[in-house]
Structure 1
Amino acid sequence: MPVTVATLLGSASLELTLHTPDARVDRAVSWVHVSELADPTPFLEGGELLLTTGLALTPEGTGEYVRRLAAAGVVGLGLGTGLSHAAVPAELVAAADEHGLAVLEVPRQTPFIALSRTVSSALAAEEYAAVTRTSTVQRELTRAAVAPGAPGTVVDRLARHLGGWALLVDAAGTPLEAAPPAARGRAGGLTAAVDRLRTARPPAGAALTQPGETVLLQSLGTGSRVRGFLAVGRPGPFSAGDRHVVNAAALLLTLRLEQSRALDSGTAALRAAILQLLLAGQTAAAGPVVAALGERLPGEPVQALAVLGTAEQRAAAVDVAADAAAHVREPVLSAELDDALLVLVSADGPLAGRLAVLPERVPGAVLGTAAPVPWDRLADGVRQARQAAGHGRAAGAPVTAFADLAGRGLAALLDRDATAAFAEAALAPLVAADRAGPGDLVESLRTWLAAHGQWEPAAARLGVHRHTLRKRIGRAGELLGRDLDSPGVRAELWLALHPPTQ
């Protein structure tokens, strides 16, 4: 228990007398300070018991002296009598009553050092007790972290120690454990704070002060990857000891989550092998292996999703996919394939739709989705998903569906620089001839191709006779060394004349 003015009054050896019975005496004393200054407040922090013999006290200045002490947060004023003052001045008591400041009479036989020792010993005992309590709780949390049922047990012990609530959410913000269970409802109100903290390198923390409650939020993880978040709340502020307990719980939960990550790494090769079996059409052989992992294959039709990004981003995407699957109670298979993460889900369930927002949860990752396919056509679906993701990355689009590639046109699928180089080389003979002559070959070829090789419409658009156009196109064919009646050659020249601009 903290030492208070009442604690000192209860010590018979100090022989203190309270002259302001209406003043509060239950406020904690942070320290004892002795000063004979007329204004000692610049040297105070609040919470002190100020001791003085009253050398600077004057009848006319007493009111202002007490007002300043009360404004500075002094919890009590001890006046040593028998030196400057034979008794406590009445004007001091009146001013103290007005401002609610406790005034104690310290008799001549009680040295100020006795009060300092009493408060110092009490503070030391309180600090030792807090350290002991913190150490005890940390040991309990450690035992809970290695026991079956963790991390739920850790969250429960933490909430009970703090006399509040505790909530553990995954990297996507979905509640994993809560104590009491009603604390799950707190997740929605923490979304904005979690999103802000997600951008910081873990571990990072934030304190949210609300009316009648303080909430501490900490990210869990190592390196640049956030594994989850721990939120705890309780009425009033957190003591230093309680903050240490929260930090210890966050560390233990991080270790627990990282252990599961190590287990995930150990099964990554197995998952990749399962994917290879499925791509080879060996669905019957892959099924028992998946069952041995305690999982199920997604139901047909299957939708393949490809995630491109750094190793950390792909690892975070595995967590997001697993959390989303657990939320909707659907099977999911995630496995690495070369430089991409493949996520296989059932096309008929809600999981595919939930994963469409994966790049929002894993900033920087790119997602490509394929059309639903049966298991025996999985290789087609995986190819489509990877192609969609690749084109999305090139275009700066976080999510791209394979079906959308056709709607963008052929030019959108081509590399701009490579196509521009091809066009420059393919049309170079015509450009050179136009510079040296009338300058009508390139435009004539473009107009003729746009008219599907029909002479009359093309000649009319150019404002020339069809024989003139025939002569120009014949000349273009000679310079290019290509057969302009070939559909393939016409397609190449059309592309050269209309390169992508973005």
Structure 2
Amino acid sequence: MPLTVRDLLAIPSLHLALAAGGKGLSRTVEAAYASEVTRPSAWMEGGEVVMTTALLLGADPQDHAAYVDDLSRARAAALVLGLGPSLPLQHVPAALGDLAEQCGLPLLTIPEGVPPAAVTKAVFDARAAEERRLLERTLRTQRRLTAAAASGDGLDGLLRAWHLATGMAAVVCDVLGRPLAGVGTQAPTVLAQAAEILEAVALRGLRGSAGGDIPSGRVQVQPLGAARLRGFVLLLGTDSTESRLLSSVLVSLLSVELERRHLADEPERRRRAALLARLFAGDLAAGHAEALLKSVGLGTGPIRAVAIQAQPGPPPGAARAEGSNRREDVLALAADLALAVPGGLVRVIGTTVEAVLPEGTDVTSLLTRFAPGRPAGIGPAVTPQHAALTLRQAIALLPASVELARPVMATEAGSVRLLLSLGSPAVLAAFADTALAPLDTADGDGELIETLRVWLETNGSWAETSALLGLHRHTVQNRIAKIAKLTGRQMERCEDRVDLWLALQAREQATGH
């Protein structure tokens, strides 16, 4: 246990006596030093026992009040006042004792014959002994944790050994926050209560860790894994020096265990990749395709394929040689997705990761979490026997995703907006101006442009355009005739109508409205 003022007072050889401030005897002592300055806080870090003869303090109660206040603000552990015939004071000034009592600052006296160095040495020896005891306890606990890791009991064995040694509740979860193992009566509630802290750590991967207060107490969240994030451990309890030392050991052993589990899961990932290859074969009957999905715990509802172009390069915070670890990075991405997607149907083809997801899966969140910044095509939802079709469309969308620097969904593939989004604002503006410049010049109030837009959107309906614009039919016809004359377009020709409509869409895309 840490050295307290009460422990220091109990050392017989120091001949210390309590004069005031008994409420603060449980304060932890970090150091001890002698000082005669009247404002010692500038030299303090907190937890010090300050020894003085009050040589410069004087007898003014206001000076005493300022001195005690300075020690209190500096979080002093205690004040030791030297008394004796040849010292400035032979007894404790009443004002000084009253002030120390009021603020709970232990005021001790020490006789003239005991040197201040004896107090300093006693504090040093006690702290050194405590550090030795802490080190011995830590080594014993480390041996227990290591033995648990070698026992083959996995995560449960490690957490039981931790709880037995520290009494702290702990929970291990995977990268999605799903519980893998827990120990302690509060373990079942920790994950839900610490969701925000866990999410903050997850955003930083292996570089992140955080602590905070939750209804169950103080929680520490640490990432687990070697080269890649494999999960998290949440430790509930006091953030003591001993727990910090031991938690680093626990994190290392848990990381090794999760890496072992990852390697042990490789045959299952290969089996599911083989199932996915059969699903993508394209010649399956409906019943066979549904049976494949059921074998991995999925229903028989609509599915969609996702194709992700895995790019070479180091993950955040790591240095990788380009090319040499490219395959490793692709496989690691596939393994992450196999853990995250329902059913785990994921495979690697070259540098592309392909997966099948149930229709209701939040694909955007999934890609943001596990494949940020990577090109991705998202196929349409289809019945299971048409998995090959959704995969072909997902792969076909990868070039557009590369250009747009974002995932692209199949619902966008037939959209003119997707086509227009591939061009830069300057190119789109130039295309629009080329077609619409004659109207811009002759149409100061924008009437012709607006009439053209509504007429094209109503497929050239005179009656509907008139109703929407609140104009007479002949007015609309005159405006369209004027547009044809200004632009040199034949409005009955499909090609000319398409050109003008694309020009309007391009201008909207370029300007954002």
Q: Which residue does the alignment assign to 2:441?
A: none
Structure 1 pair 139/13, CA: closer, same or farther in 2 (3 Å)? same
Q: Give me the whole-angstrom Cα distance separating, in 2, the residues matched to 1:415 and 1:8.
A: 75
Structure 1 pair 332/270, CA: closer, same or farther in 2 (3 Å)? closer
Query: Would you say the 8 A contact 1:298–1:345 is kept in 2?
Result: no
Q: Deviations over 1:132-180 (max 9, x none)?
A: 2222223333333344342233344445544443232322233333333
Query: Would you say the 8 A contact 1:172–1:361 is kept in 2?
Result: no
**CA drift at 1:23:** 4.1
1:361 to 2:373 alignment: no
- Identity of paired residues, percent? 26
Q: Which residue does the alignment assign to 2:29?
A: 29
**CA drift at 1:18:** 1.9
**CA drift at 1:272:** 4.6
**CA drift at 1:187:** 2.6
Q: Which residue does the alignment assign to 2:120?
A: 116
State which of 131, 134, 137 in structure 1 corresponds to 2:138. 134
Q: Give me the whole-angstrom Cα distance separating, in 2, the residues matched to 1:183 and 1:194.
A: 15
Q: Which residue does the alignment assign to 1:39?
A: 39
Amino acid at match of 1:133: R
Q: Give me the whole-angstrom Cα distance separating, in 1, the residues matched to 2:17 and 2:421.
A: 90
Q: Which residue does the alignment assign to 2:172?
A: 168
3-state SS in 2 of match to 1:173: coil
Q: Give me the whole-angstrom Cα distance separating, in 1, the residues matched to 2:365 and 2:250.
A: 31
Q: How does 1:215-234 map to 2 (within 5 A)?
A: 215-222=219-226, 225-234=228-237
Q: Deviations over 1:359-396 (max 9, x none)?
A: 24333353513333344x44323213333565555555
1:179 to 2:180 alignment: no
Q: Give me the whole-angstrom Cα distance separating, in 2, the residues matched to 1:462 and 1:68.
A: 87
Q: Extract unaligned runs of 5+ from structure 2.
A: 316-328, 431-455, 461-476, 483-488
Query: Would you say the 8 A contact 2:33–2:50 is kept in 1?
Result: yes
Q: Which has the larger radius of gyration?
A: 1
1:65 to 2:67 alignment: yes
**CA drift at 1:7:** 1.5
Q: Give me the whole-angstrom Cα distance separating, in 1, the residues matched to 2:333 and 2:185.
A: 27
Amino acid at match of 1:93: G
Q: Give me the whole-angstrom Cα distance separating, in 1, the residues matched to 2:204 and 2:220.
A: 16
3-state SS in 2 of match to 1:19: strand
Considering only aligned residues, what root-mean-square deviation do their CA atoms show, in Å? 4.5
State which of 206, 212, 227 in structure 2 corresponds to 1:208. 212
State which of 88, 106, 120 in structure 1 corresponds to 2:91. 88
Structure 1 pair 337/491, CA: closer, same or farther in 2 (3 Å)? farther
Q: Give me the whole-angstrom Cα distance separating, in 2, the residues matched to 1:134 and 1:337.
A: 48
Amino acid at match of 2:154: A
Amino acid at match of 2:231: G
Aligned residues: 432
Q: Which residue does the alignment assign to 2:310?
A: 310
Amino acid at match of 2:37: L
Structure 1 pair 195/9, CA: closer, same or farther in 2 (3 Å)? closer
Query: Would you say the 8 A contact 2:269–2:344 is kept in 1?
Result: no
Structure 1 pair 42/85, CA: closer, same or farther in 2 (3 Å)? same
Q: Extract unaligned runs of 5+ from structure 1.
A: 326-330, 425-446, 452-458, 465-471, 474-489
Query: Would you say the 8 A contact 2:169–2:185 is kept in 1?
Result: no
Query: Would you say the 8 A contact 1:305–1:368 is kept in 2?
Result: yes
**CA drift at 1:84:** 0.6
Q: How does 1:16-415 map to 2 (within 5 A)?
A: 16-20=16-20, 22-60=22-60, 61-82=63-84, 83-85=86-88, 87-91=90-94, 92-180=96-184, 182-209=186-213, 213-222=217-226, 225-234=228-237, 237-263=238-264, 272-280=273-281, 296=296, 298=298, 300=300, 303-310=303-310, 315-316=332-333, 318-323=335-340, 325=342, 331-345=343-357, 352-355=360-363, 357-362=365-370, 363-365=372-374, 366=376, 368-375=378-385, 377-388=386-397, 391=400, 394-395=403-404, 398=407, 400=409, 402=410, 405-406=413-414, 408=415, 412=418
